[in-house]
Structure 1
Amino acid sequence: MSSNRKLQLIWLSFGVSVFLMLLKFAAWWLTGSSAILSDALESIVNVLATGFATYSVYLSAQPRDLNHPYGHGKIEFFSAGLEGVLILLAGIFIIVQAVRQWIYPEPLEELGTGMLLVGSTMVINYVVGYYVQKEGEKQGSPSLIADGKHLQLDAFSTLILLVGVGLVLFSGYVWLDRLISIVFGIILILNGFRIARKSAGGLMDEVDDTTLLRVVDILKTRQKEYWIDVHNLRIQQYGADLHVDCHLTLPYYWDLEKVHSVVHEFEAILEEEFASKVEIFVHVDPCLPACCHHCRLADCPVRQFPRTTSIDWTRENLVLNQKHFLETLKSE
C-alpha cells in the first residue's frame, strides 16, 4: 500500500467520524437519551483519535533520516495506543454520565427519529471500519487497524444502544436507558485497554508470534541445503515495516562473493513473502566441524563427520542465540 493510499483511507475515516458524530449529537438533541448521548460522546473520541492517526500515518511515511535510522513507523503504535486510552476514558465518562442521569432523570422524546439517525451511523461505521481494517491488515499498519476496529466497535455498541432504546420505547422503562449506557461504558473500557496493551507491546518490541511463526514457516519450507544453521532470529515491527535480524551459518570455505550472493537470496525469499517493506540484517557465521552432524550439503569437500541428525527449525530454537548443534550436544 502506498503512503498516499494510506492517507486516503485515514482521511476517509476522519471525514466519516466527523459526519457521524454530528448525526449522533442531533439524535441526542432530539431525544435527550442518556444512551444516545453516550454514543455521541464516544464519537468525539473517534474524531480525536482518527485526527491523530492521520498525522501518524503521514509521519510514518517519511523516509528515514540521521535522527531516525529505522524510520518513523513506530509512531503508528503510539497512535493506536492513544486511541485505546481515549476509548477507555470515554467509557469511564459515559458511566459517570449514566449514573448522574439515573440520579437526576430527564424525560425522553422523539425516540423513533433518534433511532433512525443513530441506526444510519451504525451501518456507515461498520462498512467503513471493516474496509479500513482489512486494508490496514494487508500492510500491517497499526494505525489503520486500530482505527478500523474502533469504527466497528462503535457500530457494535450502537447496535446494543438501539436494542436498548427500542426496549425503552416499547416498555416505557426509562431506567433501561441508563443501564445500557453503563454496559456500553464497560465494553469501551475493556476494548480500550486491549488496544492500548497491544500498542505498548509494539513500542517495547514485544514478539508478535503470528509474524514470527510465519517467518519460521518460510525458512523451513524454502530451506536450502547450504543453509547449515539459522539462529538468533529477531523480528521487530516499525509501523507497517518489518525488521528481521538473524545469524546464518554457511560453509567456511566459500569466498566472499558467493556468501554475498547467498545472503541476497536469503533476503529475497523473506521479502517476497511479505507485502510490506522488509529490512533484513544477516550476520554470517562460518561452519564448524560439529556442524557436520546435521549439515545437509551433499557434496561438501571438507566434511569431517557423517550427517547423523536432522534439526527441525521451530519458533523455540530459531530465536536462541547459539548454533543448533550446541543445543543438540547439551540434550545428549
Structure 2
Amino acid sequence: MQPRRKAILISLIVSILLMITKFVAYFLTNSNAILTDATESIVNVVASSFAFYSIYLSTLPRDLNHPYGHGKVEFFSAFLEGLLILIAGIIIIANSIYGLVNPPVIDHLSTGTLILSATGLVNLLTGLYLINQGKKHRSITLYADGKHLLTDTYTSIALIIGLIFILITGKLWLDNVFSILAGMYLIFSGYKLVRTSVGGLMDESDEKVIVNIVSVLQNNRRDEWIDVHNLRAQQYGPDMHIDCHVTLPYYYDLAKVHQEISDIDKLINASTPHNIEFFIHADPCLPECCHYCKVKKCPVRKETFTGEIEWTQKNTRLNQKHFMHELF
C-alpha cells in the first residue's frame, strides 16, 4: 500500500476505536470534561475520513485536467480539519457553560480518568507517527492530522489533571471550567490549522523552502550564472514546483543554455529528498551586468568587474536583473 494511504488508514482506524472508548467513558461518568474529549473524537473520525479520501486523490497521477497533479486537495483537507476543530471548541464551551448553570450528576470519575489516560497515550503515539510521516512524504494532510491528534492528547492531559483535581477536592463544578479551557485551546489550534491551509491554497510562499534554495544556489554558483531573480515556489501536495529567471551570457548557443539550466535543476533536486519540478527561464545578459559578472575572458565585456552580488532571499525574488536592484 502507498505509504501515505497506509498512514492515514491507521489514523482512521485508531480514531474510530478511541471515539467509541471515550463515549463509553462518558456514559459511565456523565462528565462534561470526558464529553469534551469524546466530542473531539467525532471530529477526528470525520477529519481522518476526509483526509483518507484527499490522500487517495493526491496520489493519483497527473492528467489533462490536472497538469500539476491533485496535491492541492491536501490543503483543503487540512482546512476542513482545522474548521472542524474550531467548531468543536465552540460547541464544547457552549455545553460547558450550560453545565455550570445546570450541573449534571457525575459518577465513576476514577474509571473515566483511567480510560481517558489510555486513549491519550494512544493519541500521542499515533500523532507523532503521522507528523513523522507527514514530514517524510511532504504531506500537509498527514501533518495536520498528526497535529490534530497531538492537540487531542494535550486536551486529554489537561482534562485528566482536572479530573484528578476534582477527585481530590470533590468540587464537581471544576469539570465544566476545565472543559471551557480545553475548548478555548481547541479554537486556537483550529484557527492556526485553517490559517496554514488557506496560505497553501493561496500559494503563500514557503520561506524555509526559499531560504534553502537560495542557499544551495549561492553556495554552488558558477561564474556563468550571472544572476537569479523572480524566484517563486508553489507546493502541490508532496510535490514542489519552483520557477525562476537565470541570467546567462547572451552569446551562449541553445545547447549551452540548456546544459546550464539542466545543471541547476539537478543541483536543486540533489539537495532535497523530495521531488522538485523546476521551470527556468533563461535571460541574456546586458552590458549593465558586467560589473558583477565573474565570467573570465569574456569576449564582449563592456565594464570592469567590481564585485559579486550575493544572492539573498530578497534579491532573488524580485522580478529584476540585479543591476536594477541598485537603482531603487
3-state SS of 1:143 partner: helix
- Quick one: which amino acid aligns to residue 172 of structure 2? V
Task: Report the counterpart of residue 207 of structure 2 in structure 1.
Answer: 209
CA distance in 2, matches of 1:296, 1:57: 47
* 1:302 Cα deviation from its structure 2 partner: 2.2
CA distance in 2, matches of 1:10, 1:300: 56
Matched, 1:37 2:51: no
Aligned pairs (5 A) from 1:4-19 = 4-19=2-17
CA distance in 2, matches of 1:258, 1:107: 80
What do residues 77-110 of structure 1 show as CA deviations (whole Å, max 9, x unaligned)?
0000000000000000001111122221111111
CA distance in 2, matches of 1:301, 1:130: 59
CA distance in 2, matches of 1:44, 1:181: 16
Q: Give the length in aligned residue pairs.
A: 328
Aligned pairs (5 A) from 1:53-132 = 53-132=51-130
* 1:222 Cα deviation from its structure 2 partner: 1.4
- Is contact 2:315-2:322 (8 Å) kept? yes
Aligned pairs (5 A) from 1:1-332 = 4-328=2-326, 330=327
- Quick one: which amino acid aligns to residue 155 of structure 2? S
What do residues 91-131 of structure 1 show as CA deviations (whole Å, max 9, x unaligned)?
00001111122221111111111111110111111111011
CA distance in 2, matches of 1:54, 1:143: 9
Percent of residue pairs bearing the same amino acid type: 48
- Is contact 1:250-1:259 (8 Å) kept? yes
What do residues 255-292 of structure 1 show as CA deviations (whole Å, max 9, x unaligned)?
11111111111011111222222111000011111111
* 1:139 Cα deviation from its structure 2 partner: 2.7
- Is contact 1:92-1:189 (8 Å) kept? yes
3-state SS of 1:236 partner: strand
Unaligned runs of 5+ in 1: none
3-state SS of 1:281 partner: strand
3-state SS of 2:62 partner: coil
* 1:189 Cα deviation from its structure 2 partner: 0.4
- Quick one: which amino acid aligns to residue 17 of structure 1? S
CA RMSD of superposed structures (Å): 1.1
- Is contact 1:139-1:275 (8 Å) kept? no
3-state SS of 2:315 partner: helix
CA distance in 2, matches of 1:321, 1:84: 35
3-state SS of 2:272 partner: coil
CA distance in 2, matches of 1:135, 1:302: 52
* 1:132 Cα deviation from its structure 2 partner: 0.8
* 1:217 Cα deviation from its structure 2 partner: 1.0
- Is contact 1:63-1:71 (8 Å) kept? yes
Comparing 41-50 with 138-147, greater Cα deviation is found at 138-147
- Quick one: which amino acid aligns to residue 45 of structure 2? V
- Quick one: which amino acid aligns to residue 25 of structure 1? F
CA distance in 2, matches of 1:4, 1:258: 40
CA distance in 2, matches of 1:97, 1:146: 26
- Is contact 2:162-2:178 (8 Å) kept? yes
Comparing 249-258 with 295-304, greater Cα deviation is found at 295-304
CA distance in 1, matches of 2:55, 2:307: 48
CA distance in 1, matches of 2:298, 2:8: 55
CA distance in 1, matches of 2:299, 2:128: 57
3-state SS of 1:254 partner: coil
* 1:22 Cα deviation from its structure 2 partner: 1.0
Unaligned runs of 5+ in 2: none
3-state SS of 2:2 partner: helix
3-state SS of 1:197 partner: helix
- Is contact 1:234-1:245 (8 Å) kept? yes
- Is contact 2:75-2:201 (8 Å) kept? yes
